[in-house]
């Protein structure tokens, strides 16, 4: 038995509300189970409403595998637990005194069998699939889509939480930074972001288009033959860029040059925001084509990654700042038009039974995996709850 599963049973109301008997023989009736505390500290459920031996109680509920865990976790020294009115335990190995009174205790093992719990799912991972893989086909699509939508929203807001608008730059600096970070991917995200700080968009746009490429390439510190000029415009050094394990086409020398040419030709007038999703896709692809040279080419998959990781989060960010959902809707529509990414994790999720055809699917499921699956948080997942609740 796990404490998380005990929380799950209480949260999902899988216990009888009447005819319950506490450790000392008191009769318990549950009027309100209380509000689940998702934070790390404090009682597990707030504002419960119980009737114990005919008397109404209002307060909090705390869960432990063993009653002695109350003292092991030092709750006796924490005022946050002074208003606990019920202690729910799996094993009542000792009495607990709270506020000079014996704390009413419900022994959950007397009402729940231990043969079906969260561990029931985890034992089914022998073939390397997810615990829910065996049940996905039987889950209504609406529950899976709801989790995907929630995970995707979390992902897009997470991607933009560190980007702040400078009133003098409008939205330009934020979009500029998002594009740079997308070009850098995970490996060189940080130096690309620093490059946008060394050469802000406002400063760059004042230069003629022909000077933008040279300025960005020089400022990056990647090219040794430009170091003498670099010292006058930037503090960046070559050692800040990572090369180990990268494919030659993804090296800093290639990516910085590609970025510089793209920014040289990209129009920051935001006319694209009046387009529908299909028109936006065509506009972005045209921008990549304009930036291509003999030595600078953009594969379609790379273009998709920049759209997914820069322009879609940007639309979400704009929607949040303006309080207008239409921009976020356009971001979702863009993802639905782009093919799903192909990597080891999307292949794993596909083998696990998830349907992945568009970037909307892959992006949402990658975040769901990060938030829930990789941490074995089945009990906080709507899909896991639906399976366990049968």
Give the model confidence (pLDDT) of 227-256 as tens digits: 878 877 888 999 999 998 888 889 999 999
The total of other beta-carbon atoms located within 10 Å of residue 226's CB is 15
Answer positive or negative: Cα dihedral of 379, 383, 389, 390.
negative
Tell me what percent of the residues of the chain surpass a pLDDT of 70: 94
Name which residue leads in pLDDT, 174 or 39. Answer: 174
Q: Helices 252-265 and 189-198 meet at what angle, rounded to 10?
A: 40
pLDDT band at 167 (very low <50, low <70, confident <90, very high): low
Confidence of residue 369 (pLDDT cuts 50, 70, 90): very high
Q: What is residue 125's predicted lDDT score, i.e. its pLDDT?
A: 46
DSSP symbols for 298-365: --HHHHHHHIIIIIHHHHHHHHHHHT-HHHHHHHHHHHHHSBPP-SHHHHHHHHTT----BHHHHHHH
C-beta of residue 199 within 8 angstroms of C-beta of residue 193: no
pLDDT at 179 (0 to 100): 97
**Structure confidence at residue 41 as a pLDDT band (50, 70, 90):** confident
385 and 377 Cβ atoms separated by less than 8 Å:
no
> Using DSSP, how many helices (H) and how many strands (E) does the chain show?
17, 9
Whether the CB-CB separation of 207 and 215 falls below 8 Å is answered with yes
Lowest mean per-residue pLDDT among 126-130, 207-211, 336-340, 386-390:
126-130
- What does the alpha-carbon distance between residue 28 and residue 86 come to, in Å, rounded to a whole number? 10
Distance CA 360, CA 111 (A): 43
Report d(CA 273, CA 376) in Å as an integer: 39
- Mean pLDDT of all residues in 41-63: 94
Residue 177: pLDDT over 90: yes
What's the confidence (pLDDT) of residue 389? 66
Report the C-alpha gap between 240 and 189 in whole angstroms. Answer: 11
**What is the band of 136 on the pLDDT scale with cuts at 50, 70, 90?**
confident
Q: Report whether pLDDT(4) > 90.
A: no
- Which among 229-238, 290-299, 331-340 has the top mean pLDDT? 331-340
Interaxial angle between packed helices 312-322 and 141-160, expressed in degrees from 0 to 180 and rounded to the nearest 10:
80
Give the separation between CA 377 and CA 150, rounded to whole angstroms: 15
Question: What pLDDT, in 10s, does the model give residues 96-134?
Answer: 998 889 999 999 999 887 654 544 444 444 455 787 887
The rounded mean pLDDT for the chain is: 89
For residue 230 the two structure tokens come to 């670099």
Q: Is the pLDDT of residue 270 over 90?
A: no
Sign of the Cα torsion 342, 345, 347, 349 reads negative
Instruction: Quote the pLDDT of residue 67.
Output: 96
Whether the pLDDT of residue 328 is over 60: the answer is: yes
pLDDT at 124: 47
Residue 123: its pLDDT value, please?
46
């Amino acid at each position: 038995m796990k404490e998380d599963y005990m929380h799950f049973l209480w949260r999902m109301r899988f216990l009888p509300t009447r005819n319950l008997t506490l450790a000392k023989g008191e009769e318990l009736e549950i009027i309100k189970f209380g509000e689940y505390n998702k934070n790390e500290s404090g009682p597990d459920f707030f504002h419960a409403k119980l009737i114990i031996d005919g008397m109404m109680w209002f307060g909090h509920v705390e869960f432990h595998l063993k009653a002695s865990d109350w003292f092991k976790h030092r709750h006796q020294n924490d005022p946050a637990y002074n208003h606990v009115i019920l202690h729910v335990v799996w094993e009542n190995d000792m009495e607990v005194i709270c506020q000079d009174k014996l704390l009413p205790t419900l022994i959950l093992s007397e009402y729940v069998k231990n043969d079906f719990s969260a561990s029931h799912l985890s034992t089914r991972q022998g073939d390397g699939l997810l615990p829910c893989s065996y049940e996905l086909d039987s889950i209504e699509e609406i529950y899976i889509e709801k989790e995907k939508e929630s995970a995707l929203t979390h992902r897009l807001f997470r991607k933009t939480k560190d980007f702040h608008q400078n009133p003098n730059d409008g939205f330009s600096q934020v979009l500029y930074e998002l594009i740079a970070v997308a070009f850098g991917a995970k490996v060189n995200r940080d130096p690309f972001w620093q490059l946008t700080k060394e050469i802000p968009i406002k400063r760059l746009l004042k230069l003629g288009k022909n000077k933008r490429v040279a300025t960005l390439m020089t400022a990056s510190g990647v090219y040794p033959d430009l170091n003498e000029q670099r010292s006058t415009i930037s503090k960046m050094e070559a050692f800040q860029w990572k090369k180990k394990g990268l494919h030659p086409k993804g090296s800093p020398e290639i990516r910085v040059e590609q970025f510089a040419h793209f920014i040289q030709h990209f129009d920051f007038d935001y006319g694209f925001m009046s387009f529908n999703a299909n028109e936006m896709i065509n506009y972005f692809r045209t921008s990549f084509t304009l930036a291509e040279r003999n030595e600078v080419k953009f594969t379609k998959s790379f273009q998709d990654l920049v759209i997914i990781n820069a322009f879609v989060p940007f639309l979400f960010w704009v929607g949040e700042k303006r309080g207008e959902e239409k921009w976020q809707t356009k971001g979702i529509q863009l993802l639905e038009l782009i093919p799903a990414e192909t990597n080891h994790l999307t292949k794993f999720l596909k083998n696990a039974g998830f349907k992945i055809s568009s970037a909307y699917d892959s992006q949402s499921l990658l975040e769901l995996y990060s938030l829930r699956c990789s941490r074995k948080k089945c009990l906080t997942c709507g899909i896991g709850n639906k399976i366990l609740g049968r």
